[in-house]
Structure 1
């Protein structure tokens, strides 16, 4: 399947758009499956996205004021961006006859120290590029690190050009309102590691704010098992660790780490000794347990340092 989609942008994507692809896309479906969180949260998220495309165009906004915005929050490494991309695939999959597309916004490419340029770039992105895509059919837009574009104006310093930042946030809000009126087949999925840094006016426009939690014991076991099983395709003895006594102890020690940290912790375990680094099949559950302990200590130290 050709997953690249460019509405009529020409050879180059417009400023602020880092990627555009047709949906559904099985590669994004794999991302959805790779994020291990409570299935109830996944169902709620998918159902909200489906509602956007099934109901928004049929019910007046004076009855249900849907803006077509979902915000995913949570600590770094919990899989928010992967979940958002996977959501785009699963949503498109639910409407088999529609030609969906996904646009990914690169917010940092829109910011500028020059007065007024950020505001203009934001306005152009929403009013021209995104509107053009939405006019062609069902569109999902990923806004990663949305606090970059919709910063909390009440917490801004009087330094660092606050007027322009205010205006950029104003532009986002104005454009969201306008697009919500014109394009009921448009859905924004935003992510933020720092929800307290997102302007409250943006949050109030979100149809759903969902916190992606750190994995619990069961999810940690699932992630660890998936990682070791995957390594077992190259180093067969590693796959057998998931069925040995002590695996559940290792999974329990992973509680408090995010999914990315758990997989990196396993990589650290493979580097615990030179002989293991040369032959990863020699890694033991004890190595993994100690690596998990160290990862949690490092995480705790980093938190305290802040």
Structure 2
């Protein structure tokens, strides 16, 4: 596996099909994302960059647990399913594998990743590159102190921008999908190069209900009876309890509820709405404590 690449996947891939469906967000968000991705491969190659200065990059921002990474992978797969005339490749970048304590090593690793690995993949066909935690590679240079941060961090951001420009010019069949939990930490020059910056919000009440219901119904396939909880009296009140948590946290609430009582841990079918409610309150209390 090339340095800095976590995984290479030929698209479409059946394992990624459910990701797109599993992330519960407003359909407008999914529609806009898919449309932007399509335009990157249909319009961008045919129009001069002096007319449409597109870089083939999308940035997804939002709180941890909102499903940005899963949404990015699902988007890549959905795009490949839609554009059936050609095969796509998904490159998942591991930004932490590029960091080095040796002067100049991170910059070189970034340049090699973009200039060689990504470019070579693009020569073989349409390529989608997932840049998770992009602030690791494109840190906001205006907020970095040369005394506190090594020069290499600054140079790594410079390298990302230079390579992004070069790839946008030389290869119109590459789409970068970046994610960040901390958009304020992403360099403004990187953000300005993105064709679309989209916030993935916390789930609203309706989405919370769908996430929790899907989780319980899925759990009920293994432990019969749990799937009936959404029809129980008091379920609507429970939805209000989990509202304000992200999708991942809501599912973890259910996991934690299974450990709330020994009898439930031994026999999950005994899980009750009260167990889930208690776990939800604990999860929210922990979030408040983290912010203090």
Shorter-chain TM-score range: over 0.9
Q: Following TM superposition, by how much is the alpha carbon of 1:157 offset from its aligned partner in structure 2, in angstroms?
A: 2.0
Q: Say which SS state the counterpart of residue 147 (structure 2) adopts.
A: coil
Please give the alpha-carbon distance, in whole angstroms, between the structure 1 residues aligned to 2:6 and 2:27.
30
Residue 28 of structure 1: aligned partner: 16
Equivalents in 2 of 1:303, 1:161: separation in Å?
25
Which of 197, 200, 206 pairs up with 2:194? 206
- Map Cα deviations across residues 168-207 of structure 1 (whole Å, 9 max, x no partner): 1111000000000111110000000110000000000000
Q: Are positions 1:235 and 2:223 aligned together? A: yes
TM-score by length of 2: 0.98
Query: Which consecutive unaligned segments of at least 5 residues does structure 2 have?
Result: none
Q: 1: distance between equivalents of 2:7 and 2:264?
A: 39
C-alpha RMSD of the superposition:
0.9
* Structure 1 residue matching 2:46: 3-state secondary structure: coil
Deviations 1:238-295 (A, max 9, x none): 1110111111111111111011111110111111111111111111111111211111
- The residue aligned with 1:274 is 262
Q: What CA deviation, in whole Å up to 9, does each residue of 1:26-58 have, x standing for no partner?
A: 211201110000000110011100110010100
Question: Which residue is equivalent to 1:131?
Answer: 119
Cα distance in 2 between the residues matched to 1:182 and 1:158: 33
* Matching residue of 1:45: 33
Quote the offset at 1:23 in angstroms.
Answer: 0.4
Residue of structure 2 equivalent to 1:251: 239
Q: Which residue of 1 aligns with 2:71?
A: 83
| Aligned partner of 1:221 among 206, 209, 231 | 209
Aligned partner of residue 10 in structure 2, secondary structure = strand
Q: Give the C-alpha shift of residue 128 in structure 1.
A: 0.4
The corresponding residue for 1:70 is 58
Q: Find the aligned partners of 2:14 and 2:21 in 1 and give their Cα distance.
A: 11
Count residues in correspondence: 292
Contact 1:249–1:289 (CA under 8 A) maintained in structure 2: no
Provide the C-alpha distance between the structure 2 equivalents of 1:123 and 1:276, rounded to a whole number of angstroms. Answer: 53
Structure 1 stretch displaced more, 160-169 or 255-264: 160-169
User: Is residue 177 of structure 1 aligned with residue 168 of structure 2?
Assistant: no
- The equivalent residue for 2:137 is 149
TM-score calculated relative to the size of structure 1: 0.94
Residue 297 (structure 1) aligned to one of 258, 281, 285: 285
